[in-house]
Amino acid sequence: MGLFNKKKQESKSCCCGSCTPEAMAEAEAIKAASGIKVLGSGCAKCNALEEAVRAALTELGMDAAIDHVTDFAQIAAYGVMTTPALVVDGKVVSYGKVLKKDEAKALIQKMRADA
C-alpha cells in the first residue's frame, strides 16, 4: 500500500514560505541589537507611537536613536503580528496599540532598570 510510504515534505523556515534562511538570519541579527525600535508599516498609528517614544526619551533625558522597522520579515522575527509595537533592548514591551508618552516613558524606565 503506497499511502504509508510517502516521503514527508521538507518544512519551510516560516509560515509564509517566502522567507529565505538568509533573510531570517539577518532579521535575527537585527533583533539581537539593543536599542529602541518601533515596529510597523509606517502608518499614522506607527508614527504616533514613534512620536510618543521620542517625547518620552526627551523627558527622560535619554539620547537614544529610534529605529522604525517596516520590513515584515524583521517584524515577524519578534513574533509580532499586530502593529504598532515597541521594542526596548530586544524585548517586545507593547504591541497592538499606540502608547501615550507617559506609558512609553514607564515602559522604557522599567526595561532600562531591569537591565
Return the residue matching grid coordinates 521538507: 10
Largest CA distance in the chain: 71
Burial of 81 (0-12, 13-18, 19+ CB in 10 A): exposed
Catalytic residue among 14, 16, 19, 46: 46
Q: CB of 67 within 8 A of CB of 38?
A: yes
Burial of 36 (0-12, 13-18, 19+ CB in 10 A): buried
Catalytic residue among 15, 16, 19, 43: 43
Is 43 noted as a catalytic residue in this protein? Answer: yes
Select from 108, 55, 109, 64 the least CA-distant residue to 86. 108
Is 14 noted as a catalytic residue in this protein? Answer: no
Active site members: 43, 46
